[in-house]
Amino acid sequence: MEAREIDNTTSDSGADVLGTAVNHLERQLERGSLFTHTAIGENTLRLGEVESFTYGLIDALISKGVVSSEEVSEAATSVRQQLAGNGEMTGVGVAIRIDKPEAAEREPARVDCASRLHICHAACCKLDFALSTSEIEE
């Protein structure tokens, strides 16, 4: 691990600013973790329900001789291939935006969030849209 020097010359106001920034970052991480936990939890619950009904239905149909297990297996493979082909396989709903190379040359939009936060309450953080990797790092 790399050793870091601690700057003891930081003024009280500098420490306050740093403390506030760290608190904001901690809150963002906490919210991000809660969102991820909720998304995974909801997906798991829904997946459990779908599994119960699907396996129950398959068992009932096979036991009544309506379909064979081979027919079910073939149909499942076909549906899986269609979903994958359409990009509809399930996930946790996390997406990263891949921009075209020319987008890197565009001047990024600068918004003075600090002066607007008391009005907007970071409404943008509640919207569903994909960020690029550089936006995530910022």
Site residues for ligand SF4 per CB under 6 A = 111, 113, 116-117, 120, 122-124
What's the min distance (Å) between Cβ of 37 and ligand SF4?
Answer: 23
Return the number of the residue (96 or 117) whose C-beta is nearest ligand SF4: 117
What's the min distance (Å) between Cβ of 81 and ligand SF4?
Answer: 41
CA separation for the pair 75, 124 (Å, rounded): 43
Burial per residue of 72-105, b for 16 or more beta-carbon CB atoms within 10 angstroms, e otherwise: beeeeeeeeeeeeeeeeeeeeeeeeeeeeeeeee
CB-CB contact of 92 with 39 (8 Å)? yes
What's the min distance (Å) between Cβ of 28 and ligand SF4?
Answer: 11
What's the min distance (Å) between Cβ of 138 and ligand SF4?
Answer: 12
Token couple for 53: 């009904």
CA separation for the pair 121, 116 (Å, rounded): 8
Return the number of the residue (59 or 135) whose C-beta is nearest ligand SF4: 135
